[in-house]
Structure 1
Amino acid sequence: MRIVVTDPIISRFADLLRENTLGNDWEFVAGRPAKEQSAAIARAEVLVCARLSSADAAASPAGLVHITGSGADRVAVADLRQGTVVLRTAHHERSIAEHILMVVLAHQRRLLDVSSEMRSGMWRSVATELETPLHRTLDELTIGFVGLGGIGTETVRMCTGLGMTAVAVRRNPEAGSALDAGLEWVNPMEDLPELLKASDVVVLCLPLTDETRGLMGSRQFTQMRGDALLVNVSRGAIVDEDALYAALRDRTIGGAALDVWWDAPEGIDAPESVSRFADLPNVLATPHHSGHARQTFMRRAMEIAQNINAFGQGRAPGNSLQRGAILH
């Protein structure tokens, strides 16, 4: 089969892909001009991509389109020809869960402020200045999950193992067992206000859909605790950008850890929204890299290879979008 790869990240694992799918013709076109990429897409029997425009999707003859992540919002799936098998992969759950735990601890311990003070020569602690805030330990905190897929479930396991109380709202509260997952309760999305009021940390880990776009706005921020941390590892557009900026500027909430943004970078130049938020002292800003562990991409490459083999042999591959919507 002719396999075309347009995703530059998974292309770093080209040798692993080739070694585990013998007998195929691989073409890695990431970094080439857009016209060359489109031409390659138009001759691919299998396409491996992170993004796919409507025009390229409509011109694609591929029988299998394998998305290199768990989200399909950047791939024009609806414009692919009828019968195309569309697959996803994840394997980022552990890495993102560790990121969430890291930012929770950094926020509680005021890591950025303390490091800045130390670099300036200031030794400020409760022993030298009595007004210095005291931090809380993890077993005093309630973490609330908006969405409870693989990322949320892995983070619940990790955080409750360290003594945190976990609650969640999700589209289908009956999916899975709250008791098995270590959650105190799981409610439908309509109970989001209850979760916001109960949580010291609010984690957004749900896909971007028409229902979730703008889910967190001014009203929701006033429902959060005044010292609460908002963590977004899903998509920027789930949050109203201006409303979040105002909530952080006015200290309506305690802080935000943003790993996803409203605009895409131009090369290594961050979008304008990054500098806007990064100037605020209560923001932890990262470049959408919470899932970028080496383990993540090696496991993705292996699953992609296995699914390509299954497709070539006429067997049913896993994680097909045609077999149901993404749960959250």
Structure 2
Amino acid sequence: MTDRLTTVVTDDNVWPWLRDDTTLAEHGIDARFVPLTDTERLVRHLATADACVSVFFPQELAGRAGHRLRLLQVTAAGTDHIAWQPLPATVTVANSFGHGRSVAEHVLMTVLAGRRQLLWRDAQLRRGHWHTRLVDPHTPAFRNLPGTTVGIVGLGHIGRSIARLCAAVGMRPVGIRRSAAEHRTDDPDFAWVNGPHALPELLCESDVLVLACPLDDSTRHMIGGSELDMLGPDGILVNVGRGALVQEQSLYDALRTRRLGAAALDVWTTPAAPRPTPASPLPFHELTNVIMTPHFSATAEDTYRDRAQEVADNLKRLAAGLPLRNVVRAGAAGGHG
């Protein structure tokens, strides 16, 4: 091969792994890092790039992509930060994963913390109040995990990782998959799987609801007041998908009035910000039955290492003319793998 594959990387989380990967150069791949914030420099490099590795690809980049660009490799599962309309149809878009275990551990951690009221008990003990049945028989009790039904909406890499870890500690996973047309009991990771029409059945049967599906027109605000009432006052909602999957006001009201037992929210309708910014215009921070985290469930160091390996593999495939993996939209660069 005489032509080199020019690659621009804007994701500083995967860049250290790609920078130190000597096999890229051996496969004819030249990778350089350009900060996403340096728009003009980035546009200049994209004019001659064959591939771009990024979490975000806003309109000012998509509309000015060079004619050589063949692959936009997204370093996340979600592609809702991509400006699709101005992006040339010749560009293949692929996503990446590597974060299933990290998210699954986060879900298990927050389910345990929510069920045992860990944050409330911690805050009370810091004030000297011992809320334990060793000294107070009226202190709320909690249940262990075995026998708990966890309903998972979204059965991709993340959903299945969550199901497997939950099953390993004795929980019973059931699931909603967009492509499922009927009730099935032959999935090795779930007691049963069905389509979106079975959401009410899943809610009534579940002790814990985990949202791990993409956000689109069919899933936006899929969980509102009536769905939370089906989950009930002992139920726990864990959202690791997107904030807008849930009607925020309905969720706040259900938590405040204890119509819902607890929630663990890792995603918000407010985007993550580098400066102090409230997660919501609603005072979730005043509630004692909500665990608030800053969209960090997937951010284990292992995640970025594994994503970098997936990205490197796809770049090598592009350089060799092989089918790409994790293709979201096929362009001129490759096919599905």
For the structure 1 residues 301 and 59, does the alpha-carbon distance in structure 2 shift closer, same or farther, using more than 3 Å as the test? same
Which secondary structure state, in structure 2, belongs to the residue aligned with residue 203 of structure 1?
Answer: strand
Q: Which amino acid aligns with 1:313?
A: A
Map Cα deviations across residues 165-202 of structure 1 (whole Å, 9 max, x no partner). Answer: 22112212269974443422112111111111111100
Q: Which amino acid aligns with 2:84?
A: V
Deviation, structure 1 residue 246: 1.1
Structure 1 residue aligned with 2:48 = 43
* Superposition map of 1:54-65 within 5 A: 54-61=59-66, 62-65=69-72
Give distance in 2, aligned partners of 1:276 and 1:17.
45
Deviation, structure 1 residue 259: 0.7
Structure 2 residue aligned with 1:9 = 13
Structure 2 residue aligned with 1:85 = 92
Q: Is the 8 A contact 1:8 1:31 kept in 2?
A: no
Give distance in 1, aligned partners of 2:38 and 2:45.
11
* Superposition map of 1:106-255 within 5 A: 106-173=113-180, 178-255=185-262
Tell me whether 1:34 sits opposite 2:34 in the alignment.
no
Give distance in 2, aligned partners of 1:266 and 1:158.
31
Give distance in 2, aligned partners of 1:302 and 1:82.
26
Instruction: Give the gaps of 5 or more residues in structure 2.
Output: 331-337
How many residues are paired up?
A: 324
For the structure 1 residues 315 and 67, does the alpha-carbon distance in structure 2 shift closer, same or farther, using more than 3 Å as the test? same
Q: Is the 8 A contact 1:48 1:67 kept in 2?
A: yes
Structure 1 residue aligned with 2:333 = none
Structure 2 residue aligned with 1:95 = 102
Give distance in 2, aligned partners of 1:180 and 1:10.
33
Q: Which amino acid aligns with 2:17?
A: F
Map Cα deviations across residues 95-135 of structure 1 (whole Å, 9 max, x no partner). Answer: 11111111111111111111112222222211211110111
Give distance in 2, aligned partners of 1:319 and 1:304.
10
Tell me whether 1:264 sits opposite 2:268 in the alignment.
no
Give distance in 2, aligned partners of 1:109 and 1:77.
44
Deviation, structure 1 residue 19: 4.7
Deviation, structure 1 residue 92: 0.7
Deviation, structure 1 residue 269: 2.2
**Structure 1 runs of 4+ with >4 Å offset:** 174-178
TM-score (norm 2): 0.89
Give the stretch that moved more between structures: 103-112 or 7-16: 7-16
Q: Is the 8 A contact 2:150 2:206 kept in 1?
A: yes
Structure 1 residue aligned with 2:334 = none
Fraction of identical pairs, as percent: 36
Deviation, structure 1 residue 274: 7.6
Kindly indicate which of the two structures has a greater share of residues assigned to helix: 1
For the structure 1 residues 21 and 321, does the alpha-carbon distance in structure 2 shift closer, same or farther, using more than 3 Å as the test? farther
Q: Is the 8 A contact 1:45 1:63 kept in 2?
A: yes
Give the stretch that moved more between structures: 117-126 or 199-208: 117-126
Deviation, structure 1 residue 77: 3.0
Q: Is the 8 A contact 2:150 2:174 kept in 1?
A: yes
Give distance in 2, aligned partners of 1:124 and 1:219.
32
Give distance in 2, aligned partners of 1:178 and 1:322.
31
Deviation, structure 1 residue 82: 2.1
Deviation, structure 1 residue 268: 4.0
Which secondary structure state, in structure 1, belongs to the residue aligned with residue 93 of structure 2?
Answer: strand
Map Cα deviations across residues 218-249 of structure 1 (whole Å, 9 max, x no partner). Answer: 22112222111100001111111111111111
Q: Is the 8 A contact 1:89 1:319 kept in 2?
A: yes
Which secondary structure state, in structure 1, belongs to the residue aligned with residue 53 of structure 2?
Answer: strand
Tell me whether 1:307 sits opposite 2:314 in the alignment.
yes
Q: Which amino acid aligns with 1:55?
A: E
Structure 2 residue aligned with 1:326 = none
Which secondary structure state, in structure 2, belongs to the residue aligned with residue 138 of structure 1?
Answer: coil
For the structure 1 residues 3 and 176, does the alpha-carbon distance in structure 2 shift closer, same or farther, using more than 3 Å as the test? farther
Tell me whether 1:73 sits opposite 2:80 in the alignment.
yes
Q: Which amino acid aligns with 2:20?
A: L
